[in-house]
Amino acid sequence: MGARTGQLVGGRYRLVAELGSGGFGRVWRAYDDVLHVDVAVKELRLPTTASDTEQADRLARAAREARNAAPLRHHPNIVSVHDVVIADDIPWIVMQLVEGCSIDDHVKSHGPLPPDRVTDIAVALLRALGAAHDAGILHRDVKPANVMLAANGEVLLTDFGIAIHRTDTVLTATGVFIGSMEYVAPERALGDETTAASDLFSLGATLYHAVEGISPFRRGEDVATLGAVLAQDPAPPTLAPPALAALIMRLLAKEPKRRPTVRQALAMITERPTDPHRTADHTVLLTRAATVMKAELARRLLGLAAEHGIAFTAPPATAVIPKKKPPTPTRKHSTAKPGRRWTWQRVGAYVILVLLLAIGIHGAAVNDWDPWNLWTLLEEDLGSVGGEFADHPANIFLLVSGFGTFFAVALPFAFLVGGRAAKAVAAAGKVVTFVIGLVIGVAGLGLGAAASYFTLAGLADLLKPLLDRVAADWTSLVVITLAVIIAYEWGSMKAKKAAPGRSRRPR
Residues that constitute the known binding site for ATP: 42
Amino acid at site 128: A
What is the layout of strands, in order, in the sheet containing 90-95? 8-9, 13-22, 25-32, 37-44, 90-95, 81-87
Cα–Cα nearest to 217, from 196, 238, 201, 240: 201
Find out whether 219 and 207 touch, Cβ atoms under 8 Å.
Answer: no
User: Which parts of 260-389 fold into alpha helices (H)?
Assistant: 262-270, 276-307, 344-366, 373-386
- Kindly report the backbone phi and psi dihedral angles of residue 44, in degrees, each rounded to the nearest multiple of 5, phi listed first: -90, 135
Cα dist. 319→65, 277, 292, 294, 436 in Å? 64, 21, 9, 9, 62
Alpha-carbon span 332 to 330, nearest angstrom: 5
What are φ and ψ of residue 306, in 5° steps?
-65, -40
For the beta carbon of residue 502, count every other beta carbon within 10 angstroms.
8
Amino acid at 406: F
**CA separation for the pair 20, 101 (Å, rounded):** 11
What length is written for the chain?
507
Distance CA 408, CA 43 (A): 109
CB-CB neighbours of 480 under 10 Å: 24
User: What whole-number distance in Å separates Cα of residue 79 and Cα of residue 73?
Assistant: 7
Q: How far is CA 166 from the centre of its chain?
A: 46
8-9 vs 90-95, strand pairing mode = unpaired
Q: Three-class SS string for 249-278?
A: HHHCCCCHHHCCCHHHHHHHHHCCCCCHHH
DSSP run (H or E) holding 27: strand 25-32
Closest Cα partner for 184 from 223, 233, 217?
A: 217
* Cβ neighbours of 159 (radius 10 Å): 26
Please give the positions annotated as active site: 141
Distance CA 57, CA 137 (A): 20
Helix (H, G, I), strand (E, B) or coil at 288: helix
| Torsion (CA) 153, 159, 161, 166 in degrees, nearest 10 | -150
How many Å apart are CA 414 and CA 420, to the nearest integer?
Answer: 10
